[in-house]
Amino acid sequence: MDTHGPLSISMGRFRLLIEYEGTRYRGWQVQKNARSVQGELMRAVQEVGQTTEFEFHGAGRTDAGVHALGQVAHLELRTMLAPEILRMKLNDILPADINVLHVAKAAANFHARHHAVSRSYLYHISRRRTAMGKRFVWWIKDPLDIMLMAGSMELFRGMKDFRSFAEEDPERPSTKVLIEELRLEEAGDLILFRVRGSHFIWKMVRRMVGVLAGVGRGTLSLNDVKGFLTEHSDTPARLTAPPSGLFLERVYYPGDPILTHMQPVILVNHD
């Protein structure tokens, strides 16, 4: 006789750490007539949990073709599966370009987006044409002045109005963003750009990179960049960098240590 009774299946909240290559997707967010990263994950959750009754939200949206090294999401699901088993079962179903790196139990009120305090993005510019890394870089043929780019980059630091760098987004009517960290480094034939801030507006990072590239080419001046931050201009939109080189690097929560180095996703070297 079983004296323990039936197994208890209770509603639980999980925190997921996810990486993905965004080339084949129309971005993170679920869309009716397009393939999305969130949509693929939700289909996997539905199959593993055998239910459509769950909550799944990411820390932020990424555009079509943009990648992620450390997207965070929360999942509210009625299950008896341990976090590691849940991770393995999801990965068994997910396509090869989406991978759940880690699953952990989370506090009942944890919200991946609302509780994040900052986010960092990483961008790869390649100085040479590459067959192996073209899905992960922006190849710029023209010579780039790194010193000029680094100097103009500092103009973005602090609380600034990025109206000239943002696509209209009804979910975020304010265009003011606090930029906390900016870094530019060379790694072989790559130029790595990192920006960390409170949040980011649609297409903002790609337009920042496009403007920096314009400065590096010599077609934009420091005064031009200052002007984009004080008066509205359509120029950054025309210079929007391609999504291929952009990665959501990390989402930060209270107490998280800040990354101290930049690691390229792919090395593009030519000896």
- Indicate if 63 belongs to the active site: yes
* Other residues' Cβ atoms within 10 Å of the Cβ of residue 173: 7
Q: What is the Cα–Cα distance from 168 to 201, expressed in whole angstroms?
A: 9
Closest Cα to residue 64, out of 20, 95, 130, 96?
20
Catalytic position from the list 63, 142, 169, 189: 63
Residues facing 186 on adjacent strands: 191
What dihedral angle (degrees, nearest 10) is formed by the CA atoms of 195, 199, 203, 205?
-10
Closest Cα to residue 205, out of 70, 72, 69, 63?
63
* Phi then psi dihedrals of residue 56, to 5 deg: -145, 115
* Phi then psi dihedrals of residue 212, to 5 deg: -60, -40
Strands 138-139 and 118-126: parallel
DSSP label of 148: H
Q: What is the Cα–Cα distance from 249 to 2, expressed in whole angstroms?
A: 50
Q: Contact 196/209 with Cβ under 8 angstroms?
A: no
What dihedral angle (degrees, nearest 10) is formed by the CA atoms of 169, 175, 180, 181?
60
Q: What is the Cα–Cα distance from 179 to 250, expressed in whole angstroms?
A: 15
The residues carrying an active-site annotation are: 63
